[in-house]
Structure 1
Amino acid sequence: MRKSIDELVDVDNEGTVAREIFVDDELFEQELEHIFGRAWLFVGHIGLVPNPNDYFQSRMGTDPVILTRDKAGDIHVLLNTCTHRGMKLCRSDQGNTRTFTCPYHGWSFSTDGRLVSRPGGLYGVPGFEKHYHSELDKQKWGLIPVPRVEVYKGTVWASWDIGAPSLLDYLGDMRLYLDYALDYRDGRPDGAEVIGGVQKWRVNANWKMIPENFIGDLYHDVSHRSVDAVGIGPSGKGRRDKFGNRVTLCFPQHGHGVIGQLPFYEEYEGVSGTWGDSPEAREYHEHVHRSRVQRFGDRMRVAMSVGTIFPSMSFHGRQPRTIAWVHPLSATETEMWRIFLVDRDAPDTVKDEARRYYMRYSGPGGMTESDDMENWSYATRASTGWRSRQLHFNYQMGLGHARPVPGLAHAVENGEYNEENARAFYRRWSQFMNASSWKEIPMPDGTGSELVTDSEARQ
């Protein structure tokens, strides 16, 4: 008899999570409906569709979707399957088109509002008059739009659930750490652009192991000692330049978590880094640091290294500066995508230095990510056996020692090394899995911090 969700995940009392949730096919199918069918999911960046009629092929769970910008510049997300016989319409990673035409029977769908009543509407049907006797209801057979789409500082999010809260309420004060990755380095708002393309690769691991790794697991740094010794960081030391006093903090009522700094009021010294051998790059980063100090003054701000927004979007805010999101394929296989960010107005020399560092660090050829992939795949493989899948993972580090974070709504911290953030992630997983609708998924009241806003700290 299958155990209940509460028996599989007991992070509040025992601090344990059953290995079953990482390898079971039935639970995986339930996740697709209860989590990926309800949560806000990151689907891409507007930099991937910069021009009218641009499109980018993405996913939401196991469903293929098309992120597209129409002729008016508006962003849409459409289910990538023909409503006639299910053929996958768009099979190029990205491109530019006003019309998606099915190669199976020729039905065509347009995003141009002058041709159809809504984005993705059915436009052309071969034999409409002769074979269908002009009786086919084109209004009814357009592409399926994702009902909730929001753009936040260039990032595009979508949810299948019309009852989901707003994206800002969903993010809570984790938004402030996301801002750190998406704003200009000097604190001006919304300055990040995508550099290069999208890295894509597959990992023989359960999808949850990847965002869990990024949500706040500093304890696994032992895995990266060889990379630290090589010195792939921008200044040739370790994996990244030193950066303030790091802690792990999370938002338990949201499921998000981050490795970063507690709210602070004065910039840390020496955080700009030398960033390689280029004098131009060094001068640029020193200038950015001075500008940031002047812009923020003594107002509250945050900074971070890496974090996860529940359930499947993780991001590095500083070094490297990147967004990674995972697409579950099965209980034991995941496809991972990653894009890299730079300041839009940074000199080309600085962007090139960043690109070289990003490639050393991340992706299937990156030295740090190679370590991680080995951990995820072997942990999954070692949990598939008859006996091993009866065991539990241990998440007891720091259990019962979390402290509220002044200045952040609904946030707690637990020092540098702990598993509080992972417990928050799996507690939220349990809430989604137990709920029959968004009405049963708890959300905190007053999710936004009143102590810092974009207008106060980023003008």
Structure 2
Amino acid sequence: MSKSIDELVDVDIEGTVAREIFVDEEIFEKELEHVFGRAWLFVGHVDLVPKPNDYFASRMGTDPVILTRDHKGEIHVLLNTCTHRGMKLCRSDQGNTRTFTCPYHGWSFSTDGRFVGRPGGLVGVPGLEKNYHDELDKNEWGLIPVPQVEVYKGTVWATWAEDAPTLEEYLGDMRLYLDYALDYRDGRPDGAEVFGGIQKWRVKANWKMIPENFIGDLYHDVSHRSVDAVGIGPSGKGRRDTFANRMTLCFPQHGHGVIGQLPFYEEYEGVSGAWGDNPDVKAYYEQVHQDRVERFGDSRRVSMSVGTIFPSMSFHGRQPRTIAWVHPISATETEIWRIYLVDKDAPEPVKDEARRYYLRYSGPAGMTESDDMENWAYATRASEGWRAKQLKFNYQMGLGHAKAVPDLEHAVENGEYNEENARAFYRRWAQFMNASSWKDIPMPVDEAEQ
């Protein structure tokens, strides 16, 4: 890497980002430590491990990890590699077991910490007395736990950085928009459940292109004209039902961004008309809307369409209602995982209608996401050449025109079409890449603390 990070990313003055950061393997290797090794990463949902001793194989960057629930119901995240010779322990996507047993040499590790002090502790070693002469200290050779793990309204987050701020501090007021996706549609807290399976697919593109796409890029709607013309939305119009007063807003000091509405104090008219193709489902959402109006009254609330939490988790809050997170494979290949959400107490016809819509919208076979994958893959491929790699991507739209959002901490808005959110993402990326540890990564400071 011949150039400094500040030469590669100049979003504040020039409004550009070097193509090199999307194709260079040396930069990619540094990202694994500086970004994925420090940031709070989404690793799954508690619904993926509903019972004691359930496990789900996830990833943090390129590291395989095990999301597991112990016999007390506590959630843990462990590095998915045997400490003896490195064998991957959980090779199934998910399951249930009381011990993680290595098929290579038979070492076994506890899922819940009983008898060994902690989850992931080493419990069984073949030939411990005879071959090791009972001299192996099992306390030193348990699975590596992720230092910080937090569960937020069913979503599970983890970070390798012991000195990272809390998840709540990391999210800032972006948490309000995440709440919109995770709460019941009528405003009751913590009502979303995962239903159906997990979609997983790979695309020959740099990982950053995916969260950037969802952080606030309305400008690329031209890519979806054919889908809009077909009308796959719940009411048969466009890709989704209409969304009033949408705009892009972001949290520059956090790196998060969203397409949504500014905080408001009275429900917008017209939203209850969603899912108009099915009268029963439409009646359900009309009732949900009325319940929401009564529940919130004149208090503050937000709503949103799609957003990204830096660095690698993106989510749709309305239509479709889903969480996607990316796993980097190399500088030019990424694996995408997606799960789908619905209210726990929604009637089966509502869930079934949602399932049908989600499938025609999202994933590798979804009519919308297939457009996106083509963009990401060809943009990466067209930037790999010797000459193309010397060029820069343009992020100048709306540069210098952002305005503070009074009702949100450390947030700005820049109208409907702009690239402010992408600039916030790459500014934050550069801060992580330049830092030697979390103490060098700036966090927002409230005016009262200054």
- TM-score over 0.5 for the pair: yes
Residue 17 of structure 1 corresponds to 17
* Offset from partner CA, 1:310-350 (integer Å, 9 cap, x none): 00000000000000000000000000000000000000110
Q: Is the 8 A contact 2:69 2:112 kept in 1?
A: no
Residue 397 of structure 1 corresponds to 397
* Offset from partner CA, 1:6-27 (integer Å, 9 cap, x none): 0000000000000000000000
Which amino acid in structure 1 is aligned with residue 7 of structure 2? E
Residue 307 of structure 2 corresponds to 307
Which amino acid in structure 1 is aligned with residue 344 of structure 2? R
Residue 127 of structure 2 corresponds to 127
Q: How many residues align?
A: 448
Alpha-carbon deviation of 1:275? 1.3
Q: Is the 8 A contact 1:308 1:315 kept in 2?
A: yes
Residue 39 of structure 2 corresponds to 39
The 2-side partners of 1:149 and 1:159 are apart by 7
Mapping for residues 175-254 of structure 1, pairs under 5 Å: 175-254=175-254
Which amino acid in structure 1 is aligned with residue 63 of structure 2? D
Mapping for residues 33-432 of structure 1, pairs under 5 Å: 33-275=33-275, 277-432=277-432
Alpha-carbon deviation of 1:93? 0.2
The 1-side partners of 2:446 and 2:113 are apart by 38
Q: Secondary structure at the match of 1:282?
A: helix
Q: Secondary structure at the match of 1:196?
A: coil
Alpha-carbon deviation of 1:133? 1.1
Q: Secondary structure at the match of 1:378?
A: helix
The 2-side partners of 1:398 and 1:277 are apart by 38
Alpha-carbon deviation of 1:114? 2.2
The 1-side partners of 2:67 and 2:323 are apart by 17
Which amino acid in structure 2 is aligned with residue 310 of structure 1? F
Alpha-carbon deviation of 1:117? 0.8
Which amino acid in structure 1 is aligned with residue 381 of structure 2? R
The 1-side partners of 2:276 and 2:377 are apart by 33
* Offset from partner CA, 1:405-448 (integer Å, 9 cap, x none): 01000000000000000000000000000000000000012499
Q: Is the 8 A contact 1:173 1:447 kept in 2?
A: no
Q: Secondary structure at the match of 2:100?
A: strand
Which amino acid in structure 2 is aligned with residue 206 of structure 1? N
Superposition RMSD in Å: 1.1
Alpha-carbon deviation of 1:401? 0.2
Q: 1:212 to 1:274 in 2, by over 3 A?
A: closer
Q: Secondary structure at the match of 1:272?
A: helix
Q: Which runs of 5+ in 2 are unaligned?
A: none
Alpha-carbon deviation of 1:270? 1.4
Does residue 437 of the first structure (1) align with residue 437 of the second (2)? Answer: yes
The 2-side partners of 1:225 and 1:446 are apart by 43
Which amino acid in structure 1 is aligned with residue 17 of structure 2? V
Residue 455 of structure 1 corresponds to none
Q: Which runs of 5+ in 1 are unaligned?
A: 449-459
Q: Is the 8 A contact 1:243 1:268 kept in 2?
A: no
Paired-residue identity, %: 84
Q: Secondary structure at the match of 2:377?
A: helix
The 2-side partners of 1:91 and 1:67 are apart by 13
Which amino acid in structure 2 is aligned with residue 191 of structure 1? G
Q: Is the 8 A contact 1:169 1:447 kept in 2?
A: no
Q: Is the 8 A contact 2:113 2:120 kept in 1?
A: no
The 1-side partners of 2:119 and 2:151 are apart by 17
Alpha-carbon deviation of 1:279? 2.9
The 1-side partners of 2:441 and 2:114 are apart by 40
Which amino acid in structure 1 is aligned with residue 407 of structure 2? G
Q: Is the 8 A contact 1:195 1:340 kept in 2?
A: yes
Which amino acid in structure 2 is aligned with residue 233 of structure 1? G
Q: 1:254 to 1:274 in 2, by over 3 A?
A: closer
The 2-side partners of 1:181 and 1:107 are apart by 41
Which amino acid in structure 2 is aligned with residue 89 of structure 1? L
* Offset from partner CA, 1:15-44 (integer Å, 9 cap, x none): 000000000000000000000000000000
**TM-score normalized with structure 2 length:** 0.98
Q: Is the 8 A contact 2:236 2:277 kept in 1?
A: no
The 2-side partners of 1:444 and 1:237 are apart by 41
The 2-side partners of 1:198 and 1:332 are apart by 23
